[in-house]
Amino acid sequence: MPPKKTLTTKNLEALGAERVADLLIEIGDTNVAVKRRLRLELAGAQSPAEVAREIPKRLNAIARSRSFVDWQNRRGLVDDLQTQRRAIVDHVGKTDPKEALDLMWSFMALASLVFTRCDDSS
């Protein structure tokens, strides 16, 4: 049996849903990536169609962004892109493959825009 302080599903379940929800809101207030992920999960709980409406909003925001991504910010961008890709595959793809394909094309269209914002001069 793992120690009670180890982060496991069982130990977190023991805290109770309300306490875990409060902690997630607190963490989401300080971490925008966590907040985006929580919103995607809430949309997914409503319906895959709701996730399919949320994904293009984030893809458009990424496309419009013009800020330079250096090596220190690379991980955040990669995580954000991975979150969007997983949402397309896991939430939308299982119930609406045609919509998932359209979203994946939009996702892939970001490549040139993202690459122009990044530099690996080493």
List the pLDDT tens digit at each of the 122 positions of the chain: 667 788 889 888 999 999 999 999 999 999 998 999 999 999 988 988 999 999 999 999 999 999 998 888 889 899 999 999 999 999 999 999 999 999 999 999 999 999 989 876 66
pTM exceeds cut of 0.85:
no
Evaluate whether 97 touches 86 at the Cβ level (below 8 Å): no
